Structure 1
Amino acid sequence: MTLAATPSLQLAVQAARFAEHPLFILPQAVADLWGAGRTHWTYAEALAEVLRLRMSYAAAGYGPGHRVALLLENRPEHFFHWLALNGLGVAIVPINPDATPDEIAYLIGHSGAVLAVALPSRLAQMQGHGVPAITDDAAPPAAPGPAGTMPEPGTGECALIYTSGTTGKPKGCILSDLYFMQWGAWYAAQPAPIALREGAERLMTPLPAFHVNAMGNSFMGMLATGGAQVIIDRFHPRSWWDMARETGATCFHYLGVMPAILLAIPPGSGDRDHALRFGLGGGVHADHHAAFEDRFGVPLLEGWAMTETGGACILSAVAEPRNVGTRCLGRPDRPGPAMDYRLIDDQGLDVSPGIPGELVVRAWGDDPRRGLFSGYLNDPAATDAIWQGGWLHTGDIMRQGPDGALHFMDRKKNIIRRSGENIAALEVEGILNTHPQVAQVAVVAADDPLRGEEVMAVVVPKPGVDEAAVARALVDHAAGRLAYYKVPGFVVFRDALPVTSTQKVRKADLGGLTENPLADPRCHDLRAEKQALRKVRSETSH
């Protein structure tokens, strides 16, 4: 395995070694949906397209110091434009296709992007935000200002990816070339059952390209080893195994919701008729883990990482015993980029084995930040807050078992993790508080066996309202201002919220409600309406 300094250089290295091997594969149904006209792109073809785009951007004056926003869904075009711009030292800002106009305006404005590139069907979403917006097949306009000096290989900014925090607005994580290369280094170093075979693997993922999983973990793992990324537009449970067989997929990435849905489909003769060697992901329900492996014959390797940690500090239960069904994340002394870790209490002191504590991490060696994120854009206070005492504070509570493996317990952060999406509760609260029939609201995570967690709004309404009508009105109110997945799936009414002496809501006192919201007579289950909203938006976008 040969690792270069940047993703774009890595493509050139691998195109010389695996020129006729596929880099991207689409199932035929996905190719038809996208009108792609083809299902495979070889390394040589990908490099040729990247070089063509790079020449076009270079001729228009783009270079270091510029950022370009991309709304290209999960398609190969996202990766072509990314690698073309990376070769010029330009950072990209991936945009969630489900983002609302207000959310897109914030991302473009906060990031300082100078250009927006979108699919023709998505162009309207990127227009009107103060920067030129073009389709992915158009020549870029002249850059608005001169580019800076090309940085040393590996040190430049590669991407700016936004992640929800405990504040209302998303924070922009500055991610370097080294950050992305560390993902590939980690994946290539893993033993069996991963043990990637150079030039032979095909990783199937329906996860979005605007997240670091598909861009970093999946793609860089394949690029580092000459493998192929099998791209699916979204998770299709009933055709999942057919797509795996059609594309020759050898591994896949998952979110916890996916095994649950696949298990709900009646057993069939083709359940084990596939070439998948392992699945890598996180959040599989304890009751589903062993059942999935027994039925489909594929080990699900639970893992953990953050946008902030990348491949420099990542956990995965690869080696036995994997402690299936316990949210075991494996031993921290795993192969790959060397990391250091501690489990600490609220006073910053190490906890004893078996006692839950917050996970704090850093890279091993003289530079604790090597390969991790480079900081939050325009927010040094938040960067300093997550880096305390030379350790990155993850906000995740874990315990260490007698075999040294870490087990995920809970999160300290006020974050709702729904089907892999991180949702800031304060952002949703800010929107719901603007509704005229809301006196007070607290947004928390409710347990959901399918999606891990669901957004739940606990509302104190204005006097004399129809609670059922208000619950549905709040969904409509939020849907017009937030991406569909942030909209409440449960709305529960209360006469008052528990508060501290300073009138801050004590969300911890809502714990019993979050475990089983449907047991409360004033709970309104709006998950079906929420899913219908997703379907409407998906059909509208296409």
Structure 2
Amino acid sequence: MIAIHEESSIGEVFFQAAQAYAGNSLLAVPANPARGYHPEGWEISYAQAAQQVTALMARYRAAGYGLGHRVGLLLESRPEHMLHKLALNALGVCCVPVNPDYRPGEFAYLIDHAQPDLLLVLGSHADAAQAALRESRHQPPVLLWEQWPQGLPMAARPALAGQVGPDTPASILYTSGTTGRPKGCVLSHHYELAAGHAYATRGGLARIREGGERLYNPLPLFHVNASILSFQCMLLTGGCQVQTDRFQPSRWWQEVRQTRATIVHYLGVVIQLLLLQPPSDEDRNHCVRFGFGAGAEPQRHAAFEQRFGFPLLELWGMTEMVRIMADCHEPRQVGTRAFGRAVEGVQARAVDDLDQDVPDGTPGELVIRHSKQTPRKDFFSGYLDDPAATESAWRGGWFHTGDIVVRDAGGMFHFVDRRKNIIRRSGENIAAAEVEAMLLTHPLVEQAAVLAVADALREEEVLACIVLKAGMPEADARGGVAQQLFAHCHGGMAYYKAPGWIWFTPQLPTTGTQKIQKHAIFARGVDPRTVQGMLDLRACKKRRQA
């Protein structure tokens, strides 16, 4: 395994790995004739990747890009995203991945907040980029992927003096916040390498064999899981990341077998949909040693392992700290929401509202740190241009995750719920406040409260409770109003954020200071989906094709 030290940078480690594992495959793409790129599949060795990264670096350097610059990448999950990221990081450029499902307003917010010096965009998203630029104050040049490299513009400002180091920003990843707008998590070179090292050394059932793993990841490259956690693990150990474009249950096993995957990454929705596939004699015809992920429903966990013949190792991590805890040592606690114990470099506690430890078996907020002496070591560098939010999250010397957990007598942590006002749908974090803000811009809406509601397939769904302005339609006409409100959200936000359920009510419960009491909207024990007048709009949630 490639050794990392306190002064390591991503470019330095990549070229060491390219030399050590020259003939191994670094990246692979499964064959898929219906996909718009590499339809017959694609694979690149470490040595070939080093040649391409070196050529990319020369192009970017000649155009003046270097330390202190930021480049937005809207390349979906194409493997070239990672090659450009390696080249840019080696030069000291920070990458800002863009979610291709963003609507113009969301994309414009990222542009104004991250202030990229360049946007590298697939031609299929050119209209989306131009629409975003019409709404943004910052106006970076746009280079279409199909025009690379001839169209690469010169950098508008000089690169900073100095060398790329461990604290140099490597990525800014946007994660939903509770105040409505996403926060930009600044991730350093050291953070990304430390994340890969943590994965590579977790051991137990998650033991990584040097030069022997092919990791199939269906999660997108604008998330921390695929672009950092799994990729850096493979890079450090001479393995190969198999990057598909998106999860498709009908293609999953075909791609896993074709690419000889030995590890798969998953979310809860992946497990559910794979179990819904008809049983087959081919269910165990694969090379998978283990699955690594989060959100496997307790009642489905053992059934999946028995049917497909490999363990699902539940983990916990977040963009701010992805040096995961994992339930990867026997005996595991299958059929629970266990996700691991505190380990060296990840101290963890469950605390109450006063940050006092709660007794084992009692729900409390998960707080974490590296150690008492160096609490923030290996964590994210901070929220971009938001030191107040950064310090608030780090109050008392511990990072407050917003997740409610229970620790058992053996030190194992079990996930309970999210304390933050966040909805988790198919692996996407959705800020309720952001959806509420969008609803309140509609002329028919007086008040809006957005909640998470259970969903059998996608873990949680978005429920909007709405008070209409005086004089609005009676109940028999409100189906049409609900469609209007859905279309308003669906047109202005990523498709997954739009309400899957809408419920109209004459009033919402409030405190004496007129703050909505979400916990009091529905009686305790009542499933909101069964309440009279609840409107199901889930079938309307469609990803727009680029």
Cα pair distance change 1:142/1:515, threshold 3 Å: farther
Partner of 1:397: 404
Q: How does 1:135-284 map to 2 (within 5 A)?
A: 135-136=144-145, 137-139=148-150, 140-151=152-163, 153-284=165-296
Q: How far apart are 1:514 and its partner, in Å? A: 9.2
Partner of 2:126: 123
Q: How far apart are 1:403 and its partner, in Å? A: 1.6
Partner of 2:330: 320
Aligned pair count reads 530
CA distance in 1, matches of 2:266, 2:521: 30
CA distance in 2, matches of 1:10, 1:514: 53
Q: How far apart are 1:36 and its partner, in Å? A: 5.9
1:14 to 14, 17, 25: 17
Code of the residue aligned with 1:135 in structure 2: it is: L
Quick check: 381-390 or 36-45, which moved more?
36-45
CA distance in 2, matches of 1:273, 1:108: 46
CA distance in 2, matches of 1:51, 1:514: 59
Contact persistence 1:317–1:331 (CA under 8 A): yes
Q: How far apart are 1:511 and its partner, in Å? A: 5.5
Cα pair distance change 1:232/1:99, threshold 3 Å: same
If the length of structure 2 is used for normalisation, what is the TM-score? Answer: 0.94
Partner of 1:386: 393
Deviations 1:254-280 (A, max 9, x none): 111010011111111111111111111
Please, what is the CA RMSD of the aligned residues?
1.6
CA distance in 1, matches of 2:211, 2:349: 37
Code of the residue aligned with 1:469 in structure 2: it is: G
Contact persistence 1:345–1:358 (CA under 8 A): yes
1:518 to 529, 537, 544: 529
Q: How far apart are 1:37 and its partner, in Å? A: 6.1
CA distance in 2, matches of 1:389, 1:529: 44
Q: How far apart are 1:464 and its partner, in Å? A: 4.2
Deviations 1:386-418 (A, max 9, x none): 010111111111111122100011111001111
Q: How far apart are 1:330 and its partner, in Å? A: 1.4
1:468 to 479, 482, 488: 479
Contact persistence 2:59–2:149 (CA under 8 A): no
Contact persistence 1:310–1:373 (CA under 8 A): no
Contact persistence 1:31–1:39 (CA under 8 A): no
CA distance in 2, matches of 1:256, 1:293: 14
Deviations 1:115-160 (A, max 9, x none): 0001222233223621100023224211111111234521211011
Q: How far apart are 1:518 and its partner, in Å? A: 2.6
Does the residue aligned with 2:36 lie in a helix, a strand or coil?
helix
Deviations 1:201-246 (A, max 9, x none): 0110110100101111111111111111111111110121111110
Q: Which runs of 5+ in 1 are unaligned?
A: none
1:502 to 495, 510, 513: 513
Cα pair distance change 1:510/1:46, threshold 3 Å: farther
Contact persistence 2:314–2:339 (CA under 8 A): yes
Quick check: 169-178 or 132-141, which moved more?
132-141
Quick check: 27-36 or 89-98, which moved more?
27-36
Partner of 2:136: none
Q: Which runs of 5+ in 2 are unaligned?
A: 134-138
1:296 to 288, 303, 308: 308
Contact persistence 1:166–1:413 (CA under 8 A): yes
Cα pair distance change 1:171/1:215, threshold 3 Å: same
Partner of 2:437: 430
Q: How far apart are 1:38 and its partner, in Å? A: 4.9
Quick check: 364-373 or 400-409, which moved more?
364-373
Q: How far apart are 1:371 and its partner, in Å? A: 1.0
Cα pair distance change 1:194/1:236, threshold 3 Å: same
Deviations 1:276-314 (A, max 9, x none): 111111111122111111111121111111111122xx2
Q: How far apart are 1:370 and its partner, in Å? A: 0.9
Partner of 1:113: 116
